[in-house]
Chain A
Amino acid sequence: MPKKITIEPVTRVEGHGKVTIHMDDSNQVVQSRLHIVEFRGFERFIQGRPYWEAPVLVQRLCGICPVSHHLAAAKAMDEIVGAGTGDGLTPTGEKMRRLMHYGQIFQSHALHFFHLASPDMLFGIEADPNIRNIIGVALEHQDLAVQGVMMRKFGQEVIQATAGKKIHGTGAIPGGMNKSLTPEERDSFLLGKDPLNVDKMIEWSLGALDFFKSYHSQNRELVDNFANFPSSHLSLVRKDGAMDLYHGVLRAVDAEGKKILHDVDYQKYYEYIGEEVRSWSYMKFPFLKEYGKEKGWYRVGPLARMNTADFIPTPLAQKEHEIFRAYTNGKPNGMSMHMHWARLIEILHSAEMMKELLYDPDITGDQLVTKGNKQYEGVGLIEAPRGTLFHHYRINEDDQIDMANLIVSTTNNNTPMNLAVESVAKDYMNGHAVISEGMMNAVEVAIRAYDPCLSCATHALGKMPLEIKILDKSGNILDKKRSS
C-alpha cells in the first residue's frame, strides 16, 4: 500500500526541517522532499534600520555561524562606507576579520564533526538512538568528546577575543574592526596551557583526519557510495585559484572539473545566480542562470571548495588536499560523506591560518578603520562553514537599509540536499515494507553531511522527530508510527 514517511524534526541538525517520503504499493520511493518549515522575513523587517546595525542584526539568523553573517554584512557595509571590496581595509582590520573567521570555521566544523556527525560513525547509522549522540560519545569515547569540546572552545575563544562575544559579537564594523588583539590575548592562543594553544589544535586536527581516514578504510563502501552523485560546485577562490574562505572571486566547475563560472567579481552575483521558489519549502532553490533551473544547480561547502580550489595555501592542509584530489584522480568529488573529510582538511587549514595570523605583527596594530566616499549599495560574500554566503544591501539618503537580499549557504545546497535525501531513501527503503528507525536515520545522516544548520536557511532553526504515516490511495492515514 502507498505510504508516506515523515522525518520530523531532523535531529542533530540545527534547523527547522522535515522530510517526507512517499512510497507506492510495491514499496518503491516515488517522491522525497526536505521541507524547510520556518520563515522569518529578515529581508523585509531589517528595512528601515540604519545600515551600521546590519552586522549585529542579521547574525541573529543563525547562532551556529553568526560570525559568517556578521562578516558578510560587514563586507557589504565596507562598500557602503567606501572602504572598497575585500582588500580595502587596513592590514590590521582585515587580519582581525580573518582571524575571527578562521576561529569560526574551526569551531563550527568541530561542532559539526564531533558533536553532530561522529555519533553515526562511532556507533553506526542504525545504532540505538539513545546512545547515538554526543552524550553517548562523551560516555564511551571520552578522549574524542573532550577533543571536540576543547577544539570548539578554542575557536570560540578566538571569536571572543576578536568579536567581543562568543555568540553574536560586535567586533566588525563598516570599514574595519573596533579592536585588535592585545599581546596578552595573542600569547594566550600561541602559548596557552595545554591543550588550549594553536599548536595543539593543529595536532588534534591531524588526529581527527587520521580518525576519519581509518573509518573510511574500514567502511569504504558506505563512505564512497552513500549519496554519491555528480554535480557542479561553486565557491569563492583567491584570484590565483587558492582556497580563501574570507574573500575572493566566484568560481564554479562542472562535474568534470571544467570551469563554468570564470572567477568573476561577485558584485553582480545576481546576473549569474537565480533562485527558484517551490511551494513545498520556505527555502529557495538557487541555480546558475546560464544553465537554467533544471541543470544549473550546484553544491557549496567544504566538498565544493576542495573541488574548486587549485590549492590550499598552508602546507599541512595542502598535503591533505593533494591526497583528497588524488582519490578521484583530480576530478571533482561528488561523494556526500566525503564532505566530512573535506571539513576536516578545512579544520586543519583554519588552525594553520590562525597560527599564521597570530604571528603576524599587524594583528596587534592600531589602524582599525578605513574611510571613503559613501555608496548606496554593497554586496558582501564569504565562505561560511557550510558554503558561500551572499549578503546584498541598498540604503537610502537617510542611511536606512531599503533593500536586503540574502542567499545563505544552506540554501545554495538545497537541491543537492534533496538529491542526497532521495538517493539514500531509495537505497535504504526501496523494497522494504517495514521502515526501521535506522533507515530513517540514514536519511538524516545524508542531511547532516551537508548541514547541521538549516537555521540560516529558514532564516530560523530547530530539530525533527521521525514519523511514518501509512496512507491509502486517497491520502487517508491508515497507520502511524513514531520513532523515539
Chain B
Amino acid sequence: MSRPIIATTSLAGCFGCHMSFLDIDERILDLIELVEFNKSPIDDIKTFTKDCDIGLIEGGCCNTENIHILKEFRKKCKILISFGECAIMGGLPALRNDISVKECLAEAYLDGISTVNKEEILPNDEELPMILNKVYPCHEVVKMDYHLPGCPPRADLIWDVLHALILGTDVELPYEVVKYD
C-alpha cells in the first residue's frame, strides 16, 4: 500500500492543536517515513493536490471561509477528525454564542479603551469573510468520523491515533483523556 496522505487545517482554533501535534517531537521524523503530507499550514501546499486519507480539523466554524474549507476537506479526505475541543464543540470561541456579533464588534472596534475610531469604521471589506452568528462545531456542518478530545489533545494521544489509523489497528482512548483540559 502507498503511504497514507494527511492534510490538516486550522479553522476557528488557536493553533494549539497543531502545536500539540508537533509535540510528538522526534517521532515526527518517524511519521514522515510513514505518511505523506498534503495541504497543511505547516508546509507550503495551499490547495489540495490529491485526495487524502486523513484530514485533521482544528477549530470550529466562525466565518463563511471556515465552512468552505471544512466542506472542501470533507470532499477530499476519506477520514475526517475533529481535532481538539474547538472542532468538537466550538471550544472557547463558542463563549460568544449567546452574544450578538454586533456587540462583539462594537467592543473590539468602537469601545476599546485604546481604540481611536471617531469615524466608527468597522471591518467590512469584501476581502473579509462574513462572520457567522455563532461558532459551529464541525459535525454540525459536515459528517465527522472521529473526535479527539482535549484542549489541545495530548501529543501521545495524537501519535497513538495516527499510528492506529495508519496501521489499521484499534485506537485506545483511555478514560483520563476524555476531558476538556
Contact = CB atoms under 8 A, between A and B. Distances in A.
A199 B128 CA distance: 47
A293 B121 CA distance: 15
Given A63-B19, A276-B117, A407-B114, A18 B47 contact: no
A428 interface: no
B114 A39 contact: no
B55 interface: no
Contact of B46 (A11, A60, A276, A277): A11
Contact of B14 (A145, A392, A460, A483): A460
Interface in A220-276: 269-270, 273-276
A61 B44 contact: no
Given A63-B15, A138-B28, A146-B29, A462 B43 contact: no
Contacts of B124: 279
Contact of B93 (A40, A138, A278): A40
B107 interface: yes
Interface in B53-109: 59, 62-63, 65, 91-93, 95-96, 99, 101, 103-109
Contact of A37 (B16, B46, B116, B127): B127
B32 A277 contact: no
Interface stretch (A280-288, A313-321, A346-354, A355-363): A280-288
Interface stretch (A128-136, A329-337, A365-373): A128-136
A44 interface: yes
B138 interface: no
Given A62-B15, A111-B22, A41 B99 contact: yes
Interface in B130-163: 131, 151-152, 155
Contacts of A279: 121-125
A290 to B, nearest CB: 13
B169 interface: no
A139 B31 CA distance: 12
A95 to B, nearest CB: 25
A283 B23 CA distance: 29
Contacts of A64: 14-16, 19
Given A45-B95, A138-B28, A35 B128 contact: yes
B44 A129 contact: yes
Given A35-B128, A64-B19, A167-B152, A277 B14 contact: no
B2 interface: no
Contacts of B108: 39, 41, 43-44
A482 B26 CA distance: 33
A43 B105 CA distance: 9
A153 interface: yes
Interface stretch (A202-210, A300-308, A380-388, A463-471): A463-471
B104 A139 contact: no
A115 B11 CA distance: 21
Interface residues of A, number: 85
Nearest to A57: B92
Interface string A38-68: 1111011111000000000100111110100
B45 interface: yes
A274 B92 contact: no
Given A44-B96, A45-B96, A63-B18, A460 B62 contact: yes
Contacts of A188: none
A115 B42 contact: yes
Contacts of A150: 25-26
Interface string A112-144: 000100010000000001101111001100100
Nearest to A292: B116
A462 B10 contact: yes
A45 B44 contact: no
A217 B45 CA distance: 30
9 contacts: A38-B63, A63-B17, A134-B42, A279-B124, A281-B123, A455-B14, A461-B10, A462-B15, A484-B49
Given A129-B43, A278-B123, A281-B128, 19 more contacts: A14-B15, A20-B127, A37-B129, A39-B108, A45-B95, A45-B96, A62-B15, A63-B152, A115-B42, A132-B44, A133-B42, A150-B26, A274-B115, A280-B128, A293-B116, A455-B10, A460-B59, A460-B93, A462-B10
Interface of B: 9-20, 22-23, 25-26, 28-29, 32, 37, 39-47, 49, 59, 62-63, 65, 91-93, 95-96, 99, 101, 103-109, 112-117, 121-125, 127-129, 131, 151-152, 155, 181
* 6 shortest interchain CB distances as A-B pairs: A63-B16, A465-B46, A463-B41, A41-B104, A133-B43, A129-B44
